Amino acid sequence: MGVIAGAVVVVLVVVVGWWVVRTYNRLVRLRNQTQASWAQIDVQLKRRHELIPNLVEGARGYAAHEKSTFEAVTAARGAAVSGDLGVTDRAAAEETLTATLGKLFALGESYPELKADHHFATVQAELRSAEDKIAYARQFYNSAVQSYHTALESFPGNVVSGFGGGHGRREYFEAAGAPQDVVQVRF
């Protein structure tokens, strides 16, 4: 009888140990996925940042008197690439950069010669492509963060996450910006 009880205890210990290891490894995998998806956002943002000086220089020749716009774009880019910003601060800096880029794109509409310039149009198209890739990477990152948070907050992840370090919550990469007003359509 003692051998059977000992065997049952050993089996229970093995099962519980397997369960803990499996759950912990899942949390590690999800944490690593959030880090990898953040790295993809970072890659796309760096690409965007590298394109901006070309766009500014291309526009500067056509609209030299729009100095404040160029300075605003340059300052916003500098803020976005500076230091080791957290997710929330990075999102705010990128949102500011996007707003100033919108003003620069508007210059293309104001100056037909600039709009017709092949270099400006090419860089502008590449920036739009980068924006699409950033939006996709942001969506993937936020989805990875959601999966990670769900695993951390649900059983057994909430128990096992305390065993090892480094399993804290991650920030979502959210667009800052004012809430959208409701559009009223009248006929």
Q: What's the pLDDT at 180?
A: 45
Q: By the 8 A CB rule, do 103 and 73 touch? A: yes
Half-sphere CA count of 167, side-chain side, radius 13 A: 23
178: which DSSP letter? P
Residue % of the chain over a pLDDT of 90: 25
Q: What's the pLDDT at 182?
A: 46
Q: What's the pLDDT at 107?
A: 77
Q: How confident is the model over 142-164, as pLDDT tens digits?
A: 999 999 999 888 888 888 877 76
Q: Which strand (E) or helix (H) includes residue 157?
A: helix 157-160
Q: What's the pLDDT at 187?
A: 41
- Rounded distance, CA 42 to CA 109, Å? 30
Return the closest-CA partner of residue 173 out of 87, 93, 115: 87
Q: What's the pLDDT at 13?
A: 94
- Rounded distance, CA 126 to CA 16, Å? 53
Q: What's the pLDDT at 175?
A: 64
Least confident interval from 57-61, 67-71, 168-172, 179-183: 179-183
Count of residues in the chain: 187
The region, left, alpha or beta by phi > 0 then psi within -120 to 50, assigned to residue 186 is: beta
Q: What's the pLDDT at 30?
A: 93
Q: How confident is the model over 104-134, as pLDDT tens digits?
A: 888 777 777 777 778 888 888 888 898 899 9
Residues 6+ apart with CB under 8 A from 51: 123, 126, 127, 130
- Rounded distance, CA 142 to CA 170, Å? 9
Structure tokens at 177: 């910006």
Q: What's the pLDDT at 18?
A: 92
Q: Provide the b/e sequence for 59-82 (b: ≥16 CB within 10 Å).
A: beebbeebeebbebbeebbebbbe
